[in-house]
Amino acid sequence: MPIIETGIEVGVPASVAYDQWTQFEEFPNFMEDVEEVRQVDARHLRWRAQVAGQVEEWDAEITEQIPDKRIAWCATSGAKNAGCVTFHRISDDTSRVMLQLEYQPEGPMEKAGGFLGVFKGRVQQDLANFKRFIERRGVATGGWRGEVAAPPEATPQPRKDPLPDAMHNPGM
């Protein structure tokens, strides 16, 4: 999947930028193609947006959330996408928001060579819109301070050896 990495400096503390980002239902206020985000519960979101001129809907799961530091997610339906946004303190009143997004284009319009460039430009514009939105307000519209723990790494399973015991001990 193609990866987009970008960031922006915002004139608010990292905690304010983080709090605003947790208000997913406010995303249409600064993400141009996003029509609606509905938070189903602490981990699940339902999205509706314009993608390559078509209305798309998908579900996403928050896979990790650490207050003032990081929010990670992955799509559970629709086009494959996953990413994380991190919040970095620069000073008491300035922070940097970094976004990493993996996206698998689905339709022919999305798969066209220039789409990823257009999509990256849209992501960068959405971050600039976020900057204007939060700097004008100076405070977040709300905030969620709970944590979502990252899933534990898969525990390696012992290798199942298909060879009979006698093959391992030829002297027997």
What is the reported pLDDT for 114?
52
> Does 56 reside within a domain?
yes
What is the reported pLDDT for 53?
80
Q: Work out the mean pLDDT of the chain and round it to a whole number.
A: 86
Instruction: Report the domain count for the chain.
Output: 1
Residue 171 has pLDDT above 50, yes or no: no
pLDDT tens digits, one per residue of 88-124: 999 999 999 999 999 876 666 555 555 567 778 889 9
Task: Identify the residue with better confidence: 51 or 41.
Answer: 41
State the pLDDT confidence band at 170, using cuts at 50, 70 and 90.
Answer: very low
> Does 168 reside within a domain?
no
State the pLDDT confidence band at 57, using cuts at 50, 70 and 90.
Answer: very high
Domain with 78, as residue range(s), is 3-141
> Does 169 reside within a domain?
no
**Which residue reads 């206020």 in tokens?**
29
> Does 104 reside within a domain?
yes
What CATH code is carried by the domain that includes residue 46?
A: 3.30.530.20
- Minimum mean pLDDT range among 24-28, 72-76, 112-116: 112-116
> Does 153 reside within a domain?
no
> Does 26 reside within a domain?
yes
> Does 25 reside within a domain?
yes
What is the reported pLDDT for 118?
75
What is the reported pLDDT for 120?
86
What is the reported pLDDT for 33?
92
What is the reported pLDDT for 161?
46
> Does 156 reside within a domain?
no
What mean pLDDT is predicted for residues 144-150? 89
Supply the pTM of this predicted model.
Answer: 0.82
